[in-house]
Structures are given as structure tokens and as C-alpha cells.
Structure 1
Amino acid sequence: MARPGATPPGTDRHAVGTIRSAGGSTRAVTRTLSEDPLGGTVRRTVLPSGLRVLTEAIPAMRSVSFGIWVAVGSRDETGPTAGAAHFLEHLLFKGTHKRGALEISSSIEAVGGETNAFTTKEYTCYYARVLDEDLPLAIDVMCDLVADSVLEPADVETERGVILEEIAMHDDEPGDEVHDLFARAVYGDHPLGRLISGTSDTVTPMTRRQIQTFYRRRYVAPQIVIAAAGNLDHAAVVRLVRQALRGTPLDTEPASPAPHRPAAPAVRTRAASTVVQVKETEQAHVVLGCPAIDRLDERRFALGVLNNVLGGGMSSRLFQEIREQRGLAYSVYSYASQYADSGLFGVYAGCAPGRVDEVLELTRTELARTAEQGITEAELARGKGMSKGSFVLGLEDTGSRMSRLAKGELLYGNLMPVNELLDRVDSVTLDDVNTLAADLLARPMSLAVVGPFANRTL
């Protein structure tokens, strides 16, 4: 339920340019999505090309975060191009028809700003954070590099070496590697089970032509969301974006925005198994878990509460039992990952190799106990408080607010107002959580292990 004065998702408070053609709108269409007392005014404009621009105006801030989000990630790659999305993320900073790599970085750093990018399994983001007065510069630079990079052959070879070093560095981090091993145990050869970076076997032979084809086929206006939050004017942002994209490959014929990634058909998962990566490490790293729910599942709010109770903080069951009371591990936590058509629930622990059996036994016992007996009213209240607090506190910088706008549009198809989300968490009942726990935690569990276990069964 929205606060008084807030606008429900999908309601047009102010709309302009509503003349439409068969392929989309011939004019930009703007509407106000919300005027939230806990935030600023959120507006959304759909350009004729199908590219969307969302902003949240927060006059009290003196900074602006500006991001370009593309609905393309590692799961959109074929086997031979595994790692192309991540490769491209590196290459777009290497130069455009207007700017070289040094000018891209130095122009933003000269005004005290910062730029970066990241690739996930379902989307890629390029962003900058600058003073409000330098937003026009950030828009011009970021739109230029995303829309009109040249992908010079020499740059492809340079970044190939950088990415191979990044892959090698990742292999030297067993605490990260075990999560990838767990995903592979659950998803197998499905793209959700592959490394976002690709492997040396796929990155080494990948050609410039393959990357260029991936770039131009995937980086199209209907698949792109631009989001900005901070001290800004929506109309000015839209005007600057249109100016920056004019004459680029993203300045295209009228089209409708692409819908958010569909949830069907459901991803097939593998039967529960144990996968061990043998490494002579000082510490063993384990993840025990199972397939879970997708991001549009109505039970996601209950899962957030359940996750907090089990391993979401220092007061959680697993942290108290394994670390505080027994001192068996320094790090232990649970987590949930959600995709358009699938999800994961896992428990991670890092401990001495000789303590793995005990840690796993305690973890399995706690999961089974929670599945059978559920959680208590006190734990429900604490789990809800953690969910609400972490969400609201996470919105205290422009970067988080910018990300919220983009993810709402790109992943969910709408932006849930802050207080509606808090209401959804508040509405979770003890029965909701316990019913989910009885289902989820009783599922067969896969186990991923990285450590010195060459001649040992786990």
C-alpha cells in the first residue's frame, strides 16, 4: 500500500508525446513514477528508439550517479563466446571514434569523478559518479563509450591479456572459486553455471569479430536502461542523453522497449551432488545449498527473512552455532541468488580442513531442524527488521538509488515504491516463512568444496 501522495507503479501523473507508430513511439514519452517522501521524484522517459531513461531527483545531494544498464550478461553467450560480455565490458573503455582510453578516464578523474563497470549473469552496467555540475560531462563520456566504441584489434589483444590475468587471480581466491563451483554443481553446462569471465579456453581464441558481432547484436536501444540519481533535472538529463547518442548506432528507428527477461521455461538443474576442487589451501571453503526461487516469486520476501534468520548476520543461527559457540569458522553465512527463471540458496563456511566434517554436520542439522520446526516469532521480527533496515540504509547514497531505478525497470518491469516494499516485508507471516523453509530446506543439497582433499570423501 502506497503512502498518501505516492503514485502507484504504472500510473501516469504527467505524460507528454503520446503519438505512437507501429514500431513504438515517434516521440519521447515521459511520466512521473513516484514522489516518495523517503526519496526524490522519480521520472521515466521512453525515447523513440525504445531506450529508457529513469531519474530520481534528490536536491539535497551535491553528487549524481549515472549508469547505463544493458540487459545482456554471461547467460546470453553461446559456448564459444563464453566470456564475451565481460570481455566487451573491458573493451568499451579503450576508445571511441571521439576519445581514446586516456581521455575517457582522465576527463572524469579531472573533475574528481569515478567510472567503472561490472558484468553479471543477466546484465552489464557502466557507471560514473560526479559532482552535479559535471553531470553533462559524465553523460557525454559514458554514452559515447557504450554506443560508439571502436574495438581496435590492438586493444582486443591487450585486454585479452588483462582478462586472462583476472581469471588466474580468481583461481587464486578459493573463497570466490567455491561459489562458482557450487553454481556449476547445480546448473551444469547451462549458462547460469558458467563463469562470468569465461575461461582461458574460451577467452584465448575469441576473435575481435566475435566480440564485435556480440556488441552490435546485443547492445541495442530497446535493451538499454539509463538511470541517474542525485541533484539533477530529468528533462535536462533526457536532453543530454539524446544529444550524446545522436548519430550513434543507438540512434535508431522507433521501437518499443524490450520486456524484462521472461521467467519461462524454468531452468533445468542437476541432481544433488558433491563437487571437490582439490587445492593445497590452508583453509577449506564449502558451499552447501540447493536450487531456490526466481526473482519474481512472491515468496522472495519470506526468503529474505528466512535467510536473515539462518545466516544473515552475527545473530543468525548458523553464525551463533558454528562461530560464536564452537569457534569452528571465521566466516559463515547463508545467501540467496535470484534470476529470471531460477535461483540458488547456499550456506558458505571457511574453516580448517580438519573441521569440515563437523561444520557440515552442524549446518545440515540446523537446516533440517529449521525445515521441520520453523523459526520463532522473535526470529521473524528480527529477520524483518534486518531486511527493512538493510534496504533503507542502502539507499543513502546516489549509487544505490541509481541501481534501484535500473534494476526495477530492467529486472522487474516496474519500480516498487520504498514504502510498498517495506509493507511487503512487514506482511510476511510466520506461516509464510515456515512453509517456505519446509519446502526449500528439505530439498536435496549439493556441496561444493575447495581445499586439500585429494584422498578424502566428504
Structure 2
Amino acid sequence: MIIKETLANGVRAIIEQVPHVRSVSIGIWVGTGSRDERAEVSGVAHFIEHLLFKGTAKRSAKEIAEVLEAVGGQLNAFTSKEYTCYHAKVLDEHVDLAMDVLTDIFFHSRLAAEDMECERRVILEEIKMYEDTPDEVVHDLLAETIWAGNSLGRSILGSVESITAMTPEMLRNHLETEYCADRVVVAVAGAVDPSRVLAVIRDAFAGMPARSPQCTRVLPEVTGATIFQYKDVEQVQLCLGAPGLPHEHKDIYALHVLNNVMGGGASSRLFQKIREERGMAYSVYSFHSAFSDVGLFGVYAGTSPAFVHDVFGLIIEEMVRIRHDGITAGELKRTQDQIKGSMYLGLESINSRMTRLGKGEICFQRYVPPEEIIEKIYQVTLDDVLQVARSLWVPERFTLSLVASADPGLNRLESMHKLGL
């Protein structure tokens, strides 16, 4: 049973009662992320997410960390390009405690200057950690290049310069202007009494002011380019990116099928041809990131310098083959069944159920039943997949990012993807 209520100020509560479990997952979702930052405060959304755990009027940072762990629960948060989520998971008998902790940090965090200095150092260490992870760097490099000059292309963490320059006033201003009531979704899934949880949500969120957000999202222009970054690493990390599709595009389900066939799992074309048949990479896959008005399709591989041209050639070869001939009926059916099975298996996780509720409201302004998604996946035809491959895989709009210890032959790689398609 799923119940939804919108408060007078625009805060949305959506609750799924799952009586056969003992757990409850709660998420406070805010429809703002790194994309909604001005350039001079890059990383502020992520900084706020960290700082909300550093203490409130009635709990210290240590007490916030201990209170749910003491009853076997979990408390965490994350920031993405377009939304932020503060979430907890507990046994059903501790749902009131979890709601109290989440609303406490959400509304009553101290945002003290001394806490900010400590957390600034933590985030700078987090940036260093990511910089020491080349497969993360190459993905950030791809986004920065394909969406050059747009906030969507900037790192969620911000830069060393922007984090170092961040002030308490910047944090408070962003929090006050971007955490608007009509951007907030409280999603709850598990063994709960919906009427009781709704009463708690009304009491906690009814007074949240409704404001207009400060930043307006700008549609990024896709730029085709090749970018190389030197790092002292053993492998060449490469990402080939192309325009994707936004959440609600009519062809999004065909693209999901295309992505799965191309590099979505161990049975995919790329995994089989590059890893299983030739042993040229440990990790190789394709991916698609959908946003409110744009998307990104990409292929990643990490391989030895000696194999980089062969691996890249095999990627291009598969893209050419699909763009010319499409996929087979067997691949379509297998992928449809795979997506169906994966979705329904995921629903056995209370965290996944809560995430579906929250993301559905943030991205689509409604709960999207899994049956609706499965129906649309099975409506995808071979021609749908062929047409979406031909419309998106245009060489002039490709961006190639590489991280390696030496030039892996950029000119040759560029000519391969420009001539190959």
C-alpha cells in the first residue's frame, strides 16, 4: 500500500507499508544538488550534506553517530548532481527515533564555524582520495569536457580552491535559498503505520517555508572533444561519451535496452568480447546517466597501454555493428527479462523501495509503479533500439577522456572513433 500527501507548503510525503518485514527505511530527499550551484560555490551542496551531521542543539556529532547505531540502525546521506538525500534504516520499533534524528539534523544543525573547519579538511581529503582513484577521475574528466562550462559538468565534491574559499555565509545562503519546501520529499518504506508516520511528517515539515530557488538550471551544450590527463598509473583509463536522454524522454526505455546489450553486465557484448574472449580488461562496461533535461551515454574500460588501441577498436566496432544492424531478437528478449528480474529482486530491499519512492517524486513528480516500467520495457522493439543508437552515436558529438602515465596515441584514437562511425 502506497500513500502520498502534499502539505500546504509543497513538502511531499510518500509512504509504502510493507507489513511482512521488520525494517523501515526513511529518506529526506531535496531536489537540489551540485548542478544547482554557482561556480564560485562549487561543492557547497556536498559540504552542507557533511555539515548537517556535525551537531544540533540537542545532539553532538558523536551522539548523532551513536544514537541509531546503538539500536542496530544506519544513518547516512549522499549528494548527486540533481538531488540530496539524508536517510536512515532501523527496526520498526525505532522508527520514531529515526524520524527524530533525521528531522533534528535537517532542521536544527548548528553549522558552527569550528565544525566547518574540521569538515573542510575531511572534504579536502575526500577530494585527494578521488584524485588517487583514476577510474573516478576519468569519469569526472568526461563530464567536465562534454558539458564544458555548465554546472552539470563540475565535480560534486567541488575543487580544492572552492572548498578552501567556502565561508559559513555561503553555506547558509545556499541552504536557505535551495532547500525549498516544494523540493522536499519524505519517503518511507517498511513496517510502519502510515497514518502515524504522516502525523510526524506534518508536525515536523509543515512550518518549512516555501521559497523560489536561487539557481536556474541551464541546458548544457554537448561538446565533442578529446581530453588527456597525466597520472602515474599502470593502466590507461578511458571513457567514450555521447549525448544520452533525459528521464522522461519517449526513447529512454529503448536506450536502457541498448545500454544493457552493449555493456550492462557479464553477458553484454563488450564484457564478452574484451574481457572473456581476449582478457584485455578487468573492468569494461557501458552506462547511461539520465537527468531532468539531458543525459549521458558512456563506455568505460581500464586496460594496459599495450592493449588500449585494440580495446578501443573493439568498442568502436561494436558501436558500428549496432548502429548498422541493431541488436538481435534474442538479445532484446534476454535484456527485457534481465531488467524485469533485476527490478523485482531489487524490491526485496527496503532501502531500494524507499529510494524508488523518493527518486520517483524528485524526477517524475509521481510514484512510477514497477509494472509500468516493465510494460514499457517489453514494448521496446528492435527498430526502437536501432533508431536510438543511430540518433545518439554521432562521431562529431563524442567526447573521449583518458587518464594514463603517457600519451596513449591520442591522434590514432581520435581518428578511430571519427572514422569508425
TM-score band by shorter chain is over 0.9
Q: Alpha-carbon deviation of 1:197?
A: 0.3
Q: 1:64-213, aligned counterparts within 5 Å?
A: 64-213=24-173
Aligned counterpart in structure 1 of residue 271 of structure 2, from 294, 298, 319: 319
Q: 1:406 to 1:130 in 2, by over 3 A?
A: same
Which residue in the other structure is 2:207 paired with? 251
Preserved CA contact (<8 Å) 1:353 1:452: no
Q: 1:220-369, aligned counterparts within 5 Å?
A: 220-245=180-205, 251-252=207-208, 266-270=219-223, 272-369=224-321
Gaps of 5+ in 1: 1-40
- Structure with the larger helix share: 2
Per-residue CA shift, 1:403-438, capped at 9, x if unaligned?
101111111111122212111111111111111112
Preserved CA contact (<8 Å) 2:305 2:408: no
Which residue in the other structure is 2:416 paired with? none
Preserved CA contact (<8 Å) 1:227 1:405: yes
- Give the match's secondary structure for 2:343: helix
User: How far apart, in 2, do the equivalents of 1:130 and 1:413 lie?
Assistant: 27
Per-residue CA shift, 1:304-362, capped at 9, x if unaligned?
11111111111111111111111111111000001111111111001111211111111
Tell me the C-alpha RMSD between the 2 structures. 1.8
Preserved CA contact (<8 Å) 2:150 2:218: no
Preserved CA contact (<8 Å) 1:140 1:241: no
User: How far apart, in 1, do the equivalents of 2:188 and 2:151 lie?
Assistant: 30
Q: 1:404 to 1:219 in 2, by over 3 A?
A: same
User: How far apart, in 1, do the equivalents of 2:73 and 2:19 lie?
Assistant: 19
Q: Structure 1: which 4+ aligned runs deviate by more than 2 Å?
A: 241-245, 264-267, 441-444, 454-458
Q: Which amino acid aligns with 1:241?
A: I
Preserved CA contact (<8 Å) 1:65 1:230: yes
Q: Alpha-carbon deviation of 1:363?
A: 0.7
Q: 1:208 to 1:266 in 2, by over 3 A?
A: closer
User: How far apart, in 2, do the equivalents of 1:414 and 1:238 lie?
Assistant: 17
Q: Which amino acid aligns with 1:430?
A: L
Aligned counterpart in structure 2 of residue 214 of structure 1, from 167, 174, 188: 174
- Give the match's secondary structure for 1:301: helix
Gaps of 5+ in 2: 414-421
TM-score of the superposed pair, with normalisation by structure 1: 0.86
Preserved CA contact (<8 Å) 1:323 1:330: yes
Count matched residues.
Answer: 409
Q: Which amino acid aligns with 1:119?
A: T
- Give the match's secondary structure for 1:309: helix
More deviation, 199-208/104-113:
104-113
Q: Which amino acid aligns with 1:283?
A: Q
- Give the match's secondary structure for 2:145: helix
Q: Alpha-carbon deviation of 1:454?
A: 4.3
User: How far apart, in 2, do the equivalents of 1:342 and 1:351 lie?
Assistant: 29
Q: Alpha-carbon deviation of 1:443?
A: 4.1
More deviation, 316-325/129-138:
316-325
Preserved CA contact (<8 Å) 1:93 1:101: yes
User: How far apart, in 1, do the equivalents of 2:95 and 2:42 lie?
Assistant: 34
Q: Which amino acid aligns with 2:279?
A: G
Q: Which amino acid aligns with 1:193?
A: G
